[in-house]
Amino acid sequence: MATKKTTKKASSEKLFEGYERREAKILAALKPYGIKTIEECRDICLKAGFDPYKIGRSRKAA
């Protein structure tokens, strides 16, 4: 019998270090701006011309 692979929703994936610990505070900060998810926030950033994940990775490497 074949088994299906399940994929996690992007919001439940570990998008960055400490995601689980920081998620609630980040979402609370985004809520007043009408942003519902961290992924939506990233999409807004990408449309504005920068990638917050890329910036975070480059700062961590320094």
pLDDT value for 62? 61
- What are the sequence ranges of the domains in the chain? 18-61
Residue matched to tokens 């980040």: 26
C-alpha distance from residue 37 to each of 5, 14, 15, 41 (Å): 25, 14, 12, 6
Segments in 1-62 forming alpha helices (H): 19-30, 38-48, 52-61
Give the other-Cβ count within 10 Å of 47's Cβ.
8
* Residue range 15-57, pLDDT digits in tens: 777 888 989 999 999 999 999 999 999 999 999 999 888 887 7
